[in-house]
Structure 1
């Protein structure tokens, strides 16, 4: 919530809310995308060789084991 307070202060001072929101979205993307790539890399590295996690739509809609994650 601290970030939201800073954003509101900047918008109140600059009167440019679209610019502030665009900058905030860019910063969020710049932090979130590399984190997701790193998480995917770590997940694949920790898996046993020859095994891969795959999520199928059938496993998401039915009550399967391991909360919709099947090993292919």
Structure 2
């Protein structure tokens, strides 16, 4: 029985990982995914704000130059 346990330890590549290490790895992955989603949302909202500001700038330019008359 001692040999089979030693063989199991040798064949199991995840044996050095304890529960704390696995949980910390899962928490890190969750944090990184959350930050990635947050960055994507900021890019989308930034693009929307940029488009609105561009439209406002175009309307102001047309109003000043008389293009809306």
Query: In which range does the TM-score fall when normalised by the shorter chain?
Result: 0.3 to 0.5
TM-score in terms of structure 1 length: 0.44
Q: Which has the higher helix share?
A: 2
Q: Which has the higher strand share?
A: 1
Higher-RCO chain (CA-CA 8 Å, sequence separation at least 6): 1
Q: Which of structures 1 and 2 has the bigger CA Rg?
A: 2
TM-score in terms of structure 2 length: 0.45
